[in-house]
Structure 1
């Protein structure tokens, strides 16, 4: 993922991954999300004031987003909600191309819980689990993604914006776009979230503390 986000003069990025002794190797459902959030928080909490903003790089309504907003005033971006909000300004039919079939109902639930259902036209599975994105040959991964994006999302459903629905798909947006045909937009959710977090900081916007995320 680090190689997929270009350096920028306006900000410097730090990266954090919880220890594999306490966090799952991949997130495949609600249980993994909760366990990973707890593992991250245990290590991060003493150091939260060291960063100006956060991007939680799990394509879900990950509980760590809410926890960080409650614990800090820094802007916190979800790689699910941020690209959906951006995509809604770029086209009329926004679809998500995610990993295993298990994630389709999970993401339908998460998108609805975030109040963003009207922004998402369809969610499609690539049939590949998260860890298979690394273990399978890269050409096979790209061919699978490209075929589903073009045949199912663009040609059959008329999608004009496609969000890659997993942090493990970061950096593949250009390859998928090339297979979709002219005029289709494909978004990397991690890059979208980093840029929106930077934009919030430029606007001097912070997490509100008068309502949902008021101090306990």
Structure 2
């Protein structure tokens, strides 16, 4: 049974992604900053008959928490097949370029970028033991410099001085990570779940968590012929999924 770690998986998109992967027969380590919330999420899934799941306390902004999660999972398995770096924050909107405090930038980057780096570096050895490892970095079409510079783009007027750059930086980390593992079985991509109605945006989104889960799962279960080093937004590009950086 293939094993998956999902960060920030106790609710919303992360939770739905866990549900859909469980339905496909994967074993889920459900990462949650608050362990009690993670346990409640696990209970909900088990009530649906989805039993191959357990909660892992994992605060991506805390290196000690990440290290502890690595040790705990390492006691249970020598192999991790999929890492989904889903945990993220907006930092509160609106965020103007001239008035957003540096402390907000630091907090957003600490989770959206540095959190991904911490978790990826901690679990890369277990992933390397998988015959077909996949890493999905949950990004946003809002990270695209090209689209954000185009006045005709649907979301052109939706800016965020801290949040958007954090996801753009995450994309560049994804490019570097994919390059480091080129020529190996690793499949590493940045995936936009879409504009989804969740607590993250006060439920202003137009898509559902089911939509988002399907988009993420698609790139979490790639085979040897799957893409790597790509920026994917199937909401933006329904044909190939790939969008400009």
TM-score, shorter chain, exceeding 0.5: no
Please give the TM-score of this superposition, normalised by the length of structure 1.
Answer: 0.41
Please give the TM-score of this superposition, normalised by the length of structure 2.
Answer: 0.38
